[in-house]
Structure 1
Amino acid sequence: MITSIKKPIIAISLFLIMIGYASFAQNGLFSRKKVINQYATVGLGGGTSHYFGDLAPYSYAYYGIYTNVRWNANINYTRFLTSNFAARVSLSYIRLAGDDNTFAKRNLNALSALYLRNLSFRNDLKEFTLTGLYNLLPTYSKGAKGRAQFMPYIGIGIGLYGHNPLARKPVDYNTGELIKGDWVALKPLNTSGQGLIGSTIKPYSLVQPVIPLVFGLRFKINQNFDFTAEAGFRYTPFDYIDDVGSTGYPSQTALINSPNGGKDAAKFSYRANELYAANTLANRLLDFKNAAIIANPGKAFGAIDPENNAGDAYDISRQRGNSIRFDSYIVTQFTISYVLSNNIKCPVIR
């Protein structure tokens, strides 16, 4: 696992160093002529976030563009080093979410097993990235005052994010009304069997690396402000943004009896037997029956409902997640940037 994380990080780091070296060596980055035309901006913005992983399979990625959409907010500082190259530091707060109920209902015939599985999560990521940006059109004027009215650009970088996947408790309807459950942190529950006796699955870290790949359009509003529209794909060599790995279900008895488990751990690990969707309060009975018939062709069902005989339709011998071993996300960000200066005030390095 450590090796798989280090390889992409090392590759991206070397790439950024090579870009920086080329800028320094070929363009005389620290010459007086270059330095006085550098400038910086500070930006504030936000947009949408879209999760892909075990609860939103890549084979149906187009559903993920408009299903379980959440939001993000960001602040960044960008230093334009040459007419074509810039370095940007960004801090973003990104909410991701996935829900088998809402995603699978887009195509119950193809995603019936996901509907029966009934997993869901929410995860708020605190992301810090360093990204190298490259303008795709030639720039003839130097400095902030000469920047182009319209500029497409691409970028690649490296970063870290902190996260903590949560899920709602099963719906409480014993009071005569439907009540959404509280949010519960999933990592301490070891829902995939992490740390159980005989298990080879290790607990995951709440800090993970990320590699941003971005494409954006920058528009000059006036001498002091720019507007940027950007879409970014975030690759992360990590499989538990959604708390679901490419593993089978652990023993429910082992979860209940584990020191860090209990009944809650078992409930959050296997959720096919819930009558109501945790996030929407929708009654699952009718769609559960239809999904059971689709997912089990040729199997004869009598009376079937999630609470009493979910195992007949979706038994615990199934794999809990899919075979793809990393989750990812896409963010769109719309940013207003303020130009701080087109000159550096400190002495020039000779």
Structure 2
Amino acid sequence: MVVLLGAGIAAVKSDICGSWGCNEFGPAVSVGALYKLTTNLGISGTVDYVKLGATEKDPRRPRNVSFESEVIEVSGTVVLNLLDSYAGSGNYRSSRKRFVVPYVRAGVGAVYYTPTSFPGQSSLDDSQTTYDPERKYPAVAAVIPFGGGLRFRINNEFSIAPELIYHITTTDYLDNIGPRIGNPGNKDHYGVAIVKLQYTPVLKNKIFSKKPQGR
């Protein structure tokens, strides 16, 4: 069993913002656990918090809308190492662990989100006006996270793993703006760049750790 703690940044893709230029990058934090089934395969469960924000900068749309959204995600993923954790293979596999192991992950989950939209390019704290909610919040939607990363081994207990994960949701209201004419089928998604600290507790077997006693 591996304990996971992570921090990074998040960006959104929605009806009012589809590029990096209009994003207000927000914080992302994650906590969870990974259970290793084999040296190549594991299952993971995490709880993530991300803060999303963006400003509409399309000159064809004079509304100049901004939004901020707080999202809590609970998800489970399958983690597949693209290389064995140990060097070598077959009968020649070494007991030495690799320094770097690339991996991919994908799964399903749910997001619990609360957005607020407002005019202009100021922050929500400075805005004197907020728009009415498009639906009842907080709201819940399904999410599919997928992506990958690299795990760098420090020692038997600690590793560091930078990840890039994309999150496809089933809602169009992360920005408090519903479907627009011309793109009614588009949903809101977000991406997260995060660095995770992985801690593997070392459990010693007391039976074999005792010193031999004389007769």
* TM-score exceeds 0.5: yes
The equivalent position to 2:5 in structure 1, one of 28, 44, 50, is 44
The equivalent position to 1:209 in structure 2, one of 137, 142, 167, is 142
Deviations 1:241-297 (A, max 9, x none): 1111224xxxxxxxxxxxxxxxxxxxxxxxxxxxxxxxxxxxxxxxxxxxxxxxxxx
Q: Distance in 1 between matches of 2:12 and 2:74?
A: 18
- By percentage of residues, which structure has more strand? 2
1:96 aligns with 2:49: no
Q: Is the 1:85–1:133 contact (alpha carbons within 8 Å) kept by the matching residues of 2?
A: yes
Q: Distance in 1 between matches of 2:129 and 2:6?
A: 28
Q: Distance in 1 between matches of 2:43 and 2:129?
A: 38
RMSD: 2.9
Aligned twin of 1:337: 198
- By percentage of residues, which structure has more helix? 1
Q: How many matched pairs? A: 197
TM-score (structure 2 length as normaliser): 0.80
Question: Tell me, which stretches of 5 or more residues in structure 2 are unaligned?
Answer: 88-94, 207-215
Displacement of 1:181: 2.8
The equivalent position to 2:100 in structure 1, one of 150, 162, 182, is 150
Q: Is the 2:164–2:194 contact (alpha carbons within 8 Å) kept by the matching residues of 1?
A: yes
Q: Is the 2:113–2:137 contact (alpha carbons within 8 Å) kept by the matching residues of 1?
A: no
Aligned twin of 1:228: 161
Q: Distance in 1 between matches of 2:195 and 2:76?
A: 18
The residue identity in structure 2 corresponding to 1:91 is V
TM-score (structure 1 length as normaliser): 0.51
Displacement of 1:322: 4.2
Q: Could you tell me the percent identity over the aligned residues?
A: 26
Q: Distance in 1 between matches of 2:29 and 2:48?
A: 6
Q: Distance in 1 between matches of 2:154 and 2:54?
A: 37
Q: Distance in 1 between matches of 2:113 and 2:127?
A: 21
Displacement of 1:190: 4.5
Q: Distance in 2 between matches of 1:74 and 1:183?
A: 32
Q: Distance in 2 between matches of 1:245 and 1:53?
A: 10
The equivalent position to 1:237 in structure 2, one of 155, 158, 170, is 170
1:79 aligns with 2:35: yes
1:50-129 alignment runs, 5 A limit: 50-57=11-18, 61-63=19-21, 67-100=23-56, 104=57, 111-114=58-61, 116-129=62-75
